[in-house]
Amino acid sequence: MRMHEQSSRRAFTIVEMLAVIGVIGILLGLVLPAIANVRRESQSVACQANLRQLHSAVETYRAAIKGQLPMCDFLPASTPEGPVGGLVEVLEKTVGVDCTCWYCAADDDEEESRSTGTSYIYLPGLLRYTPQVQIPVAALLVASQGEALTERQRERRRRDAEAKLVSVLYERSPNAVALIMDSQDRHKIGSRNPRNAVYIDGSVGILREADEVAEN
For the stretch 4-60, pLDDT in tens is 555 455 666 776 677 777 767 776 666 656 566 678 888 999 999 999 999 999 999
Specify the pLDDT at position 171: 87
| pLDDT interval class at 216 (50, 70, 90) | very low
The Cα–Cα gap between 135 and 142 comes to 11
Q: 3-9: which pairs have CB atoms within 8 A and are 24 or more residues apart?
A: none
Specify the pLDDT at position 202: 92
The answer on pLDDT for 80 being more than 90 is: no
For the stretch 99-113, pLDDT in tens is 999 999 999 887 778
Residue 180 sits at φ, ψ, to 5 deg, of -135, 140
| pLDDT interval class at 185 (50, 70, 90) | confident
Break the chain into its structural domains and give their ranges: 2-215
Q: Indicate the pTM of the whole model.
A: 0.78
Residue 176 sits at φ, ψ, to 5 deg, of -85, -35
Q: 175-179: which pairs have CB atoms within 8 A and are 24 or more residues apart?
A: 175/199, 175/201, 175/203, 176/210, 176/214, 177/123, 177/127, 177/210, 177/211, 177/214, 178/123, 178/207, 178/208, 178/211, 179/55, 179/58, 179/122, 179/123, 179/124
Tell me what percent of the residues of the chain surpass a pLDDT of 90: 41
